[in-house]
Structures are given as structure tokens and as C-alpha cells.
């Protein structure tokens, strides 16, 4: 497994420590790995949604498309 070193400001270090405690993580490493895994899942979901949107609409699903979709969904949630 690869190792990296990251320099954090004191503010980010404090935030990281709070998130580890609040989230029940054993370590900062576990928390960061979870963040990366969630971001990877989000990226894969966006790719699948984009493919589905292109297939259904026959057009390019870009960031503007997702912005409009978010606006519609946030309006429904209110």
C-alpha cells in the first residue's frame, strides 16, 4: 500500500481530529481513506448518470446538466 505525507494547517488538523472522533474512526488515515472511497463512488455514480442521460436524451450530459438537475431536486425537497 502506498503512503503519502500531507501538510495541514492547524485549522485543518483540528477539523480532521474532530471528524475522526465524531465519526468513530480509529485514525486520521481511516477517515481520509473513507473520504477518498466516497469521492470515488460519487465519481463513478456521476459517470453512470451521465451515460444514462446521454442514452436517454441523445446529448452530452455536462456540469450544466447536473446543475439544473440539482436545482430541480432541491426545489422538490422544500
Burial of 53 (0-12, 13-18, 19+ CB in 10 A): middle
pLDDT score of 51: 78
User: pLDDT per residue over 32-77, tens digit each?
Assistant: 999 999 999 988 888 887 777 776 665 556 677 778 878 888 777 6
Residues 14-27 have a mean pLDDT of 96
The CA distance from 21 to 14, in Å, is 11
The CA distance from 46 to 69, in Å, is 12
Burial of 71 (0-12, 13-18, 19+ CB in 10 A): exposed
Amino acid at each position: 500500500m502506498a503512503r503519502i505525507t500531507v501538510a495541514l494547517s492547524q485549522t485543518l488538523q483540528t477539523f480532521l481530529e474532530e471528524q475522526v472522533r465524531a465519526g468513530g474512526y480509529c485514525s486520521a488515515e481511516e477517515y481520509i481513506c473513507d473520504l477518498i472511497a466516497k469521492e470515488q463512488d460519487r465519481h463513478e455514480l456521476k459517470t453512470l448518470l451521465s451515460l444514462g442521460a446521454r442514452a436517454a436524451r441523445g446529448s452530452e450530459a455536462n456540469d450544466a446538466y447536473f446543475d439544473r438537475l440539482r436545482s430541480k431536486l432541491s426545489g422538490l425537497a422544500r
